A and B are shown apart, each in its own frame.
Chain A
Amino acid sequence: MLDLTYEAPKPKVIAGATGDWELVIGLEVHAQVATKAKLFSGASTEFGAEPNSNVAFVDAGMPGMLPVINEGCVAQAVRTGLGLKAEINLWSAFDRKNYFYPDLPQGYQISQLYHPIVGEGEVLVEMGNGTARKVRIERIHLEQDAGKSIHDMDPNMSFVDLNRTGVALMEIVSRPDIRGPEEAAAYVGKLRQIMRYLGTCDGNMQNGNLRADVNVSVCRPGAYEKFMETGDFGHLGTRCELKNMNSMRFIQMAIDFEARRQIAILEDGGEIVQETRLYDADKNETRSMRSKEEAHDYRYFPDPDLLPLEIEQAWVDDIAATLPELPDEKKARFINDFGLSDYDASVLTAEVPNAIYFEEVAEGRDGKLAANWVINELFGRLKKDEKDITESPISAARLGQIVGLIKSEKISGKIAKDVFEIAYTQDRDPEEIVATEGMEQVTDTGAIEAAVDEIIAANPAQVEKAQANPKLAGWFVGQVMKATGGKANPAAVNALVMKKLGL
């Protein structure tokens, strides 16, 4: 298989009053593990259940209750690690992160600070025009989600919903390799795509199943390169952490705002205070949540209720054997095998069902033509109807028929659109439509010749004009097409018209 090659994209540069600034960004992405049960209990992870209905005794922090690891969550984390080409740690361990909050019943979150289950990996983030950023993954660890505190239901009381408490999260920590707001959003999008391919996270950002903490700092051009050479963070600016972002658009807007805020402070001779900030989408601004001094002391220590998590290489290998073709590989294959453009291949591999559909349409046919039809006609039509590809009224087999009919010149591209519309709206078979409706392209030169002769005979003035100016011959082609109900082969019509006019 051919590896696609990319150039690194240029970092985003913001021009300040005192010169240019560059951005340095690292993300901690929290992805809810797609499993039926929670990380350490058998309670359901179903979204949208009645408040406090998916809560086991251990989730509620009842006295004497103990956590027991859910093997399915471990398998999903390993699978994700393999999908990000990361090192899998056969020995990992759980730690307690201690803090008080009403939606944290145990008074601590079980996480993996010291020994995460997944080590270093990498993700390729395409940025268009043949550029892509290679973002290094530092680690992925498993941890418990917290519950939900609800403060706006009653003026005097807060409510707590523990349904989410203890649900398994993967925290995917990147290196500070991301150099602009668009790259950050694209990075999250790429992680989402890979995890959806793997089936390890549904990527639903609206439900909070995928969210990110974004670390942003700014520096002068050249400083980042020194950091990369030496690994010394001293070359970079002081960072601020933007908490809990759950929309790609907001991630971009928040980073942009935050970078400009930091630049304004620095250019005024001020200093950036390391702190945690919240993005307010309504006002498009970030606000301080707590400073480093106010930061919690989480008093991490190894969870004595859990033994170290030891897994075997053979088990990891079994999981690796079930890995699907991943986006990068699928895209490269589409480009190589079907001759698609980078853009078309990206669109068709964005989601697995798209790719499956396309492959069925293109199977044994013209790949480029198939891609055009899937992307331009089908996707456009589905979008208009607000339908998902899995709800497409026209099957891949039928769209494939249309592509085949065009390629074999049974119908013209123009007629094909009509066939598509009928097949789409009436749930009919394209080959049957063409036959029943008499839409087959006329390639019989005798029939076309008769029509050409008839029109030339009826329009002597136009003949004269066309003979003087051959550009006007098109008029005859149009008339013939009209007379044949669009079914005549346009190339054959054109040739005959030219011949008969003596051009």
Chain B
Amino acid sequence: MTDLNKLTIAEARDALKKGETTSVALTEACLAAIDAQGVLNAVVHKTPELAMEQAKAADARGYADAPALSGIPLGIKDLFCVKGVDTQAASDILKGFKPEYDSTVTTKLFENGAVMLGKTNMDEFAMGSSNEHSAYGPSVNPWKVDDRQLTPGGSSGGSASAVAADLCIGAIGTDTGGSIRQPAAFTGTVGIRPTYGRVSRYGIVAYASSLDQAGPMTKTVRDTAIMLTAMSGHDMRDSTSADIAVPDFEAALTGDIKGKTIGIPREYRLDGLNAEIAGLWDKGADMLRDAGAKVVDVSLPHTKYALPAYYVIAPAEASSNLARYDGVRFGHRATLGAGDGINEMYEKTRAEGFGAEVQRRIMVGTYVLSAGFYDAYYNRARKVRTLIKRDFENVFASGVDAILAPTTPSPAFGIGEVSDADPVQMYLNDVFTVTLNLAGLPGVSVPAGLDTNGLPLGLQLIGKPWEEADLLNIAYSLEGSTGFVAKPQKWW
């Protein structure tokens, strides 16, 4: 077989089962593609030795009754701790940090036979929507327009870029405010953010604990279903992980959505919404209707408060979560001058170790939690969060099975185009994605078409809590209807 790295998980699994290829061959193909990634800068710590060891072990075990991901090479976002492997959350402050423990997600993937190719690029501490805020430098989108290099989105930009460019068969990311779905939309790939509590957060470097959730990033909805089944489940080591049975998500992919009700939230039709995206959204609704679903208008009245609430709550939690990076026990410690004490050590270490966007969010978070401002910002944002959650509950209670919306307000933007502007311009990228993080709901982004410049656009489906199986089945139907098969031309 040629171009093994271009296979989907399902294809690779079948090929391995039939003995048409080996994990070693798959892994070598991916490692070669990674070596040739060039400017994409998607994989930032390569683990070829670990990968080959895992591939050989998978081949040795055979594929007769092998677990779901046996022998499948994956990219792992740099936010996931893997024992003995550099894990620095794309931050200089964790330079050289090799954890003594594994995240639950990577443990589960490995137990399911997966092969780890390396760590993928991301925005520092998962804070960003373009993968430009990275100690490794930006990751670049394999899709491009003429000579304009584009961002793959963020924060899981490296994973998205790697999947889209076939550097790996699949990858994992995390989604705090859209960090899986937005890069998926920008790169023509599929990504789900599961219900909060579906996937353990143990061993994932924390950004905003009440919003963080890990999920797969893949080439197809089926692949996402396969990986999500492997990643999910209750974990005693994460108090917020839910003790709820995990269905076989792949088995739920019947493509039959007859009788389902799809809500179209009117508040998402923002003034000045990109016409092509608006058009694609309508087309997506038509496709679902054609597949037998009922499409209804719904209202999520507090939507406009979601973005400001998110940019209060997430920085607040981040300011506390990132306090541990103080130079005392691990990671970077500034060289101190004569007479410098503990405060100088903190200040210099953190000034040197954290990038500008992380520093900005720590300062915002510190401010909104401080005495005198707590009620005006943090407490208010929490109340907004409750209202947003109720909006969704009301819609679902009215009989809606899933909500269809654009994933992003625009296609992928150029490197430097937004990051050089006001930071709020960058935050606006998350306008369609953050709402469900605040509500703890699952959401999946599916590539739905190309814009006039030939860039992929994504549509987002938002589901009921714990109903990822149903949600993925609707996404599967939509994926089939769009017939999206476009791939970026290799130019890197």
A interface residues, Cβ below 8 angstroms from B? 57, 60-69, 96, 98, 100, 102, 105-108, 158, 160, 297, 299-301, 304-307
Contact = CB atoms under 8 A, between A and B. Distances in A.
Contacts of A69: 239
A62 B369 CA distance: 23
B323 A64 contact: no
B343 to A, nearest CB: 8
Contact of A63 (B81, B240, B328): B81
Interface residues of B, number: 43
Contact of B324 (A105, A158, A304, A305): A105
A57 B324 CA distance: 12
A304 B236 CA distance: 16
B237 A108 contact: no
A102 B345 CA distance: 11
A68 B323 contact: no
Contacts of B202: 64-66
B15 to A, nearest CB: 34
Chain A interface, DSSP helix/strand/loop, else mixed? loop
A98 B324 CA distance: 11
A485 to B, nearest CB: 75
Contact of B239 (A60, A67, A300): A67
A107 B101 CA distance: 21
Contacts of B394: none
B206 A307 contact: no
B81 to A, nearest CB: 5
Given A61-B329, A64-B206, A299 B324 contact: no
Nearest to A97: B320
A108 B323 contact: yes
B307 to A, nearest CB: 19
Q: Which of A68, A102, A299, A305 has the most CB of B within 10 A?
A: A299
Contacts of A306: 239-240
Of all A-B residue pairs in the complex, the 8 with the closest CB atoms, nearest first, are A107-B323, A304-B210, A304-B209, A299-B369, A61-B324, A64-B203, A63-B205, A64-B81
Interface string B319-331: 1101110101110
Query: How would you classify the secondary structure of chain B's contact residues: helix, strand, loop or mixed?
Result: loop
Nearest to A162: B329
Interface string B346-374: 10000000000000000000100111001
Given A297-B371, A299-B369, A299-B370, A98 B320 contact: yes
B313 to A, nearest CB: 9
A71 to B, nearest CB: 12
Interface of B: 80-81, 87, 89, 94, 97, 99-101, 103, 201-206, 208-210, 236-240, 316-317, 319-320, 322-324, 326, 328-330, 342, 346, 366, 369-371, 374, 378
Nearest to B206: A64
A307 B323 contact: no
Nearest to A160: B328
A106 B324 contact: yes
22 contacts: A63-B99, A63-B324, A64-B80, A64-B81, A64-B103, A64-B201, A64-B202, A64-B206, A66-B237, A68-B238, A98-B319, A98-B369, A102-B326, A105-B328, A107-B324, A108-B320, A108-B323, A297-B370, A301-B374, A304-B317, A305-B206, A307-B239
Contact of B100 (A57, A106, A108): A57
A65 B205 CA distance: 8
Given A62-B330, A66-B202, A307 B240 contact: yes
B208 A304 contact: yes
A305 B209 contact: yes
A60 B326 CA distance: 12
